[in-house]
Amino acid sequence: MIDLLARNPAPDPAALTAELAPSARFEDVRFETYRPNADYPSQAEARASLGSFVGAAQNKPSGLRLFRRRRPEGKGLYLDGGFGVGKTHLLASAYHASDGTRAIMSFQDLMYLIGALGMTRAVDAFRGHDLLLIDEFELDDPGNTHMANTFLGQLMPGGTSVIATSNTEPGALGQGRFNANDFQRQIQGIAERFETRRLDGPDFRQRGTRPEDVFSAAEYAAWQAAQTPETLAVLTHRDLNRHLLKIHPSRFAGLLSGVGAVGVLDLVPMTDQNVALRFVHFIDKLYDLGLPAAFTGVPLAALFNDTYRHGAYAKKYSRCLSRLSELLRESRHTLPV
């Protein structure tokens, strides 16, 4: 088996800038494979808007002409909606539909790059890109929002267009209280370059199904027996949480490099929000990489403590629970009948 606890991948900003492509779960998605919910027309409208936006972003004057014309300033598109409505699918589809120089990353990855490289080098690393796609733009931290504002404010005038997504608070769905106004207020310096599109709808991962829960001991034993031992990583939830505190979330992909499946045993409630947020980032990376996973222990509903569960990061915890449910459903479907 692979021992994740023995791994401590070194930070490598250069490697991160070289690998900014859709993750394994989203490498085959396209606009054509997006299935909008007919009950929520905003989903089909958002897909059409992204297709038009990508087409416009590619119709820029070539930089290979003898007499170069100044590149027009980049434009921005902001997708605002709840978790599980397909924003990441659409973002990855936009990447695949573009044939220009482009990069896709999470907001957390962007923050790590700016912190590791410094603002000037980070801007230089993406100067000349036609399209930058940022998933899960976060407005929770004023400092991070200011850095993103400065970064995009220096990049977009040079011709880089940007598509960003963000989650609406689950309790605001269907009530018209979306994050678009917050987004535009926070990025005042570049807000005029962005148009906003909202995606209404329920979590597609739970559409027509009941949420999954952790494996029984018998289910887990059957699942583990079906995995390839050489690429399987198994560890307890407590050990995982302790180890994640030593590793920056931007290095979680390196932590999981070469891993074929992950088993996390004995889930326990997390009373410390710092621990909980690291675990959320780990599940996000596990999900994005498309790795099979199984979990045992307390029910999912008991993982996140009520003291923070419905606070400023409520959308993160709700998305995490949705993704955990999908990971469990996918693994449960592989069990022998």
- Residue 90 host element (H or E): helix 87-97
Q: Does some domain include residue 211?
A: no
Q: Does some domain include residue 6?
A: no
191 and 225 both lie in a single domain: no
190 and 130 both lie in a single domain: yes
Q: Does some domain include residue 322?
A: yes
Distance CA 317, CA 284 (A): 11
In the sheet where 261-267 sits, what is the strand order? 232-236, 261-267, 293-297
117 and 35 both lie in a single domain: yes
Are 96 and 29 a contacting pair, CB within 8 Å? Answer: yes
Distance CA 168, CA 83 (A): 7
SS3 content of the chain, % helix, strand, coil (to 5): 50, 15, 35
pLDDT the model gives residue 177:
36
pLDDT the model gives residue 80:
84
Please tell me what DSSP assigns to residue 258.
T
Other C-beta atoms within 10 Å of 266: how many? 14
Are 259 and 300 a contacting pair, CB within 8 Å? Answer: no
302 and 262 both lie in a single domain: yes
Other C-beta atoms within 10 Å of 292: how many? 18
pLDDT the model gives residue 67:
45
Q: Does some domain include residue 159?
A: yes
Select from 173, 199, 225 the last residue of a domain: 199
Range of the domain at 286: 217-334
Q: Pairing relation of β-strands 261-267 and 232-236?
A: parallel
pLDDT the model gives residue 182:
60
191 and 280 both lie in a single domain: no
194 and 221 both lie in a single domain: no
Residue 190, domain CATH: 3.40.50.300
pTM listed for this prediction: 0.80
Q: Count the domains in the chain.
A: 2
- Reading the block at residue 31, the tokens are 């606009």
148 and 266 both lie in a single domain: no
Q: Does some domain include residue 7?
A: no
- Reading the block at residue 232, the tokens are 């399987």
Spell out the residues 6+ positions from residue 53 whose beta carbon is closer than 8 angstroms to its own: 75, 77, 94, 161, 163
165 and 137 both lie in a single domain: yes
171 and 299 both lie in a single domain: no
Q: Does some domain include residue 207?
A: no
Q: Does some domain include residue 233?
A: yes
pLDDT the model gives residue 268:
98
Q: By C-alpha distance, which of 261, 259, 257 is closest to 223?
A: 261
96 and 26 both lie in a single domain: yes
pLDDT along the chain (337 residues), means of 10: 93 74 92 92 94 79 49 88 85 94 90 88 92 85 80 92 75 41 62 82 62 92 97 98 92 93 98 95 94 97 92 84 93 90
Q: Does some domain include residue 288?
A: yes
177 and 40 both lie in a single domain: yes
pLDDT the model gives residue 65:
42
Mapped onto helix, strand or coil, the DSSP state of residue 108 is helix
pLDDT the model gives residue 174:
35
120 and 229 both lie in a single domain: no
